[in-house]
Amino acid sequence: MATTSLSMTSRQVNGSAMAALLAGGIGAFAMAAVVLLNEAGIFAAPTLYAPAGGVSGRTTLATIVWLMSWAVLHNRWKAREIAPGRVGAVTLILIALGVLGTFPPVWALL
Amino acid sequence: MLFTDRSIWTMVHGIGLGGGALIGLAAALFYLYAARSSEDSVAPPGSGAFAAATALSAAMLWLTVIVGTYIVFPPYRVTPPVGVTDLGEFPRALLLASPSTAWLHTFAMESKEHMPWIASMLTTAVAFVAVRYRSSVLQNASLRSLSMALLAISFALVAFVSLMGVFVNKVAPLD
């Protein structure tokens, strides 16, 4: 992503905001990836709570990916001004893929 | 007893927490919409309320998905013992027993298993931005637009899965 001035304080620059929003998109995409891999029989996240079944592992794994990506992006961008256009577009694309991948009729296509 | 523990948890999950999150998301979206004319303001009004609305919505959404996944969903998916003919205590089995209601599990409930977690993540992201940047979110056009888009997606997802939950609970309630 394009970065510009480093002269502003981390409180004023938009890097932290862009990191949080893009991480949200990554989390959505991770949820879809985990679900689709499970439905395709390629990878099944371990069940963490047996009464709830596999959903406990899938949602926990996607949440961990979301938090880790947020932490990495925040550390890299917190003192930078990030171009919002590209980050916004990538975020919305990832969210769209994430929602599609968690939509049961899509699984039937696998 | 008028309500069982299971039905009380279902109401806490769907009406209390999920409904509360929907109201909070609607309020947050309204703040952002109303703030379109605030770009020239030094300190646009409502930034604290917007931060509170998004933070509260995010908290309620996380509680909704955690209660839903770990308290409400387990009794819903219990497999009935062999020989049981009354499936009233086993909602998933009850839904799957009839072709006319099977979609309420294969489409409605399976949508509810994952989509709300996405809404929780997106709302948390906007809540972080709202708390950290306060009035800048309302003044900065790109930040405001992106926040509004994510909140609108969250609202749509939560509204959709809430409706699916109403359908499921209408046909196969957790009594």
Task: Tell me the pLDDT of chain B (175 aa) as tens digits.
Answer: 788 999 999 999 999 999 999 999 999 999 999 887 766 666 677 788 999 999 999 999 999 999 999 999 999 999 999 989 899 899 999 999 999 999 999 999 999 999 999 999 999 999 999 999 988 888 889 999 999 999 999 999 999 999 999 999 999 999 8
- Whether residue B101 lies inside any domain: the answer is yes
Which residues of chain B lie closer than 8 angstroms to A56, CB-CB?
A: 69-70
- Whether residue B164 lies inside any domain: the answer is yes
Please answer yes or no on whether A88 and B149 come within 8 Å at the CB atom.
yes
- Whether residue B85 lies inside any domain: the answer is no
Q: What are the start-end ranges of the H helices in chain B?
A: 5-11, 19-34, 47-67, 73-76, 91-96, 103, 110-133, 135-139, 141-171
- The token duo for B26 is 């609607």
Domain holding B121, by residue range, is 5-36+45-79+90-171
Per the structure, the count of domains in chain A is: 1
- Whether residue A102 lies inside any domain: the answer is yes
Please answer yes or no on whether B70 and A52 come within 8 Å at the CB atom.
yes
Cβ neighbours around B24 below 10 Å, total: 25
- Whether residue B149 lies inside any domain: the answer is yes
pLDDT value, residue B43: 65
- Whether residue A69 lies inside any domain: the answer is yes
- Report the predicted TM-score, pTM, of the whole model to 2 decimal places: 0.93
Per the structure, the count of domains in chain B is: 1
- Whether residue A44 lies inside any domain: the answer is yes
Which residues of chain A lie closer than 8 angstroms to B74, CB-CB?
A: 49, 51-52
Alpha-carbon gap, residue A57 to A34, rounded angstroms: 9
Of A20, A49, A104, the CB nearest to B70: A49
- Whether residue A9 lies inside any domain: the answer is no
Domain holding A69, by residue range, is 15-107
Q: Is A68 on the interface with B (CB under 8 A)?
A: no
- Whether residue B122 lies inside any domain: the answer is yes
